[in-house]
Amino acid sequence: MKARTGYSTSLKQEFLKKWIKGIRIYSNFKKDMNILERKKAIKLSADLAIASTRNASTRWSRTLTANISKNETNKIFVEQIFSDSEVIKKEAPSRLMARSNRIASKKIWRRSHITQIKARKMGPYAVKARSIAKKLVKNRTKVLKSLVPGGENMDGISLIKETLDYIVSLRVQVDVMRRLASAAENSTRLGLSSKCSVHWLQGIFTVLDHWCAMVH
């Protein structure tokens, strides 16, 4: 339990550090931003920050970074947030992922084959129950694939692993942003924050609402 807490704390610290760095970089690109632009800056910085903490070791983090990099302006932004070592490491994990996917696919095929044999032995009721179960799994899998970046190209086992990792990352984002927003809100109540800080706070709350809905 202690190790897990330590990992969570270090991950939050790394995310916060890179998130703040991202916001500062984005702010240098555009000095005067409205609430929608601040919301975009907050979300973009947070997405890249949490993706960079995974160090390209997961497919969802690589896909998220690649999707953001499609925009030329964002590409410059990505390069400044990611260190050289992180960029270099991008290729190796993808090969490892491909190998693990092949192994996972073979395991899924074996399990499916064994299940089919058992179903034939158990008769029509078992076949019907299995058919209903398959539809439920298929529907839930479809939802997961639409939520996890890169999920549409993942097999069942990879999707589960990536989903669990993605949920942990989303929770880190939400927790850090909640704490930061709470601290900023308290400062605002005490009259210690500037008007600019209030605008950024509004953007954080807007992004938080979106992520909380995804996590829950």
pLDDT digits (tens, 9 = 90+) for 175-215: 888 887 777 666 655 554 545 555 555 566 565 555 555 55
Q: What is the pLDDT of residue 43?
A: 87
- Whether pTM > 0.85 for this model: the answer is no
- Report the C-alpha gap between 48 and 40 in whole angstroms: 12
- Across the range 139-168, mean pLDDT stands at 89
pLDDT score, position 25: 85
Domain count, the chain: 1
Residue 158: domain span: 2-92+154-215
- 103 part of a folded domain: no
In a domain, 134, yes or no: no
Position 129 in a domain: no
Count of beta carbons in the 10 Å neighbourhood of residue 205:
16
Gap between the Cα atoms of 112 and 35, Å rounded: 51
Across 101-127, average pLDDT: 58
Higher pLDDT, 129 or 22: 22
190 lies in some domain: yes
Does residue 139 sit within a domain? no
Residue 41, pLDDT > 80, answer yes
41 part of a folded domain: yes
Better-scored residue on pLDDT, 193 or 41: 41
Instruction: Tell me which residue of 158, 151, 169 sits closest to 54, measured CA to CA.
Output: 169
Of residues 128 and 39, which shows the higher confidence score?
39
Report the distance separating Cα 40 and Cα 125, nearest Å.
52
**Phi-psi region at 78: left, alpha or beta (left = phi > 0; alpha = psi -120 to 50):** alpha
- Compute the distance between CA of residue 176 and CA of residue 146 in angstroms, rounded to an integer: 25
Please tell me whether residue 36 adopts helix, strand or coil conformation.
helix
71 within some domain? yes
**Coil, helix or strand at residue 202:** helix
More confident position, 208 or 57:
57
DSSP 87-108: HHTTHHHHHHHHHHHHHHHHHH
SS3 state at 193: coil
Q: What pLDDT does residue 187 have? A: 61
Which carries the bigger pLDDT value, residue 76 or residue 172?
A: 172
Is there a domain that residue 177 lies in? yes
pLDDT at 55: 75
Q: What is the pLDDT of residue 178?
A: 83
- Residue scoring higher pLDDT (35 or 213): 35
